[in-house]
Amino acid sequence: MREYPPCKTGGGASATVGTSRHTAPVPDPDSPMTAPHAPSVGGGLWSPQRRELTLGLVLTITLVAAEALAVSAAMPIVARDLGGLELYGLVFTAFMVGSLIGIVVAGDLIDRRGVVFPFLAGLGLFAAGLLIAGLAPSMEVLIGSRFIQGLGGGAIPPVAYVAIGRSLPERLRPQMFAMLSTAWILPGVFGPGIGGAVAEFLHWRLVFLGLLPLLVVSGWMALHALRGVAAAEAPGGGRSSGEKLRDALIVGLGVALLTGGLSADSPAVLAALVIPGLGLTLYAFRRLVPPGTLQLARGYPAAIALRGFLTFAFFLYDPYISLLLVEVRGWSAAAAGIALTAATVSWTMGSWTQARLSRRISHERFALYGFVVVAAGTAGVLPVLVPEVPAWLVVPAFALGGYGMGLGYAQFALIVLRDVKGPEQGAATSGLTLSDVLGSALGVGIGAALIAATVRGGLGPGPGIGVAIVLATAVAVLGWLLAPRLRSQGLPSDVAPSTTSEVH
């Protein structure tokens, strides 16, 4: 919903894990305070030397978010016009698979060539996908255009993360992530409505084509600022770009098989797709993230893994709140939108809460709080399935879950940016985003499979949504139990980031 995110790590990255924030400050050539051409430490996000980067990244993320939400609202009309309703789901799957590949490629390019080239390539592919989608004569062409959009869209978050890590001091990073979360507010409130209205009263093609001029403006602003982001020394050794691209294609294929198999109504087809899909996904994912990620090794490997836990838990039921309210409790679609808007707003409130308190509360403890609050909010939605329980209770419960996401979501990126230095940041943030998208995709796919199973069994969507909520709560609780592994050796979990890491 809301914000985007080590593949390979060399020996230099592992040396930074476990660095205590209580030791005397040592100048770091890769830090934003001492890197060549980095902006001065003084001032905030809107100071003259940082204003352009802040505005450019926020506007770019806003437009990507608006496109995603508007397309969801416009797709019924698109399918009616182009035909091929049976291909409806592939429009979204294609974007997701493209994003997985774009994330990995962008991470490698960042480490080798800096942030400017991958940002330009990502923005260009996203714009090309918009243009092709706006002119698409058939559903098949639209699916291809969404894959291209995904390639470009997947490149943008790692660029944003590395730009934050290399150009902002640690004290400003929580605020910047709160700004990126805020970038979802207006799209979350108005995006679906505007997208649906444009598609219904004007033409659905304008949903894609209308964003192109705005994308050029925001991209130009961000690009101008990204030119000033300090480049890191190219990493030595490690795996080749070709090997990483191959693994990215494998993980994309694995996720496509997984999501396709989960929606199958035949047990034989489900097993034939899900088992190899899961095998391919795990094989490639293990090769694209740092050693120790799947084992939840302490520090940033655990942060990369647990980011996927958090997104899996939330998106296991998030897309089906409207279905719950409309089909199970009889609300109108417009009324159900109140719950979605409440969660979007509360997510941003949680993000700003962590930004304001980041000097007093550690990233690790905020992540733990996030899991607890998400679990509580998710469990609070479950009683709404009972007819005697007032349906409006879903609004505060779902908003509580969104608030928990705001508290915890950015912490994993902040831990990675703190513990991984210059040459490896592109790969690390790429791995973080990969875990993020993979967790979301599996959550959405498993939730859809549970609902489809109970609908086919003649029970309606309610029981399937209920099982998804119970599973989501369990995963959030598991994340809470595992959250202490975010703390590197020797780093207390109850101490906020120290100002000793900054130059005054």
Q: Take residue 20 and report the two structure tokens written for it.
A: 């205590």
Q: Are residues 264 and 323 in the same domain?
A: no
For the domain that residue 185 is a member of, what is the CATH number? 1.20.1250.20
Q: Comparing 197-201, 379-383, 498-502, which segment has the lowest mean pLDDT?
A: 498-502
Q: Are residues 207 and 266 in the same domain?
A: no
> What value does the mean pLDDT of the chain take?
77
Q: Are residues 488 and 466 in the same domain?
A: yes
- pLDDT tens column, 36-49: 334 445 677 778 77
User: How far is residue 365's CA from residue 408's CA, in Å, rounded to a whole number?
Assistant: 9
State residue 237's pLDDT score: 53
Q: Are residues 308 and 271 in the same domain?
A: no
Residue 499 predicted with pLDDT over 70: no
Q: Take residue 314 and report the two structure tokens written for it.
A: 């939330």
Q: Are residues 108 and 223 in the same domain?
A: yes
- Domain span at residue 78? 1-5+46-229
* Domain end among 178, 196, 229: 229
* Domain end among 194, 210, 229: 229
pLDDT above 70 coverage of the chain, percent = 78
14 in a structural domain:
no
Residue 60 predicted with pLDDT over 90: no
Q: Are residues 284 and 297 in the same domain?
A: no
Residue range 71-79: mean pLDDT, rounded: 70
User: How far is residue 128's CA from residue 146's CA, in Å, rounded to a whole number?
Assistant: 10
Give helix 212-226 / helix 51-82 axis angle, nearest 10°: 150
Do residues 114 and 226 make contact, with C-beta atoms less than 8 angstroms apart?
Answer: no
- pLDDT tens column, 368-412: 999 999 999 999 999 999 989 999 999 999 999 999 999 999 899
Our count of domains for the chain comes to 3
Cβ burial, residue 246 (10 Å; 0-12/13-18/19+): middle
Tell me the range of 54-63, 176-185, 254-263, 406-415 where mean pLDDT is highest. Answer: 406-415
12 in a structural domain:
no
237: which DSSP letter? S
Cα 279 from chain centroid (whole Å):
23
16 in a structural domain:
no
pTM for the full predicted model: 0.71
Do residues 402 and 350 make contact, with C-beta atoms less than 8 angstroms apart?
Answer: yes
Residue 236 predicted with pLDDT over 70: no
Residue range 335-341: mean pLDDT, rounded: 74
30 in a structural domain:
no
28 in a structural domain:
no
Band (12; pLDDT cuts 50, 70, 90): very low
Q: In which residue are the tokens 């994912």 written? A: 285
DSSP 351-418: HHHHHHHTTTS-HHHHHHHHHHHHHHHHHHHGGGGSTTS-GGGHHHHHHHHHHHHHHHHHHHHHHHHH
Q: Are residues 349 and 492 in the same domain?
A: yes
Helical residues (DSSP H) of 83-204, grouped into ranges: 88-113, 116-135, 139-167, 173-182, 185-197
35 in a structural domain:
no
Q: Are residues 206 and 348 in the same domain?
A: no
Residue range 487-491: mean pLDDT, rounded: 66
Q: Are residues 194 and 325 in the same domain?
A: no
- pLDDT tens column, 438-486: 888 888 778 878 887 888 788 888 898 899 999 999 999 999 999 999 9
State residue 40's pLDDT score: 43
- pLDDT tens column, 269-305: 888 888 998 899 899 888 888 888 989 889 899 999 9
431 in a structural domain:
yes
Which position has the higher pLDDT, 480 or 426? 480
399 in a structural domain:
yes
Q: Comparing 106-110, 120-124, 282-286, which segment has the lowest mean pLDDT?
A: 106-110
Q: Are residues 77 and 212 in the same domain?
A: yes
> Buried b vs exposed e over 227-236: b needs ≥16 C-beta within 10 Å?
ebbbbbeebe
Residues contacting residue 37 through CB under 8 Å, at least 6 positions apart: 228, 230
Q: Are residues 444 and 482 in the same domain?
A: yes
* Domain end among 273, 288, 303: 288
Q: Are residues 108 and 211 in the same domain?
A: yes
By residue count, the chain amounts to 504
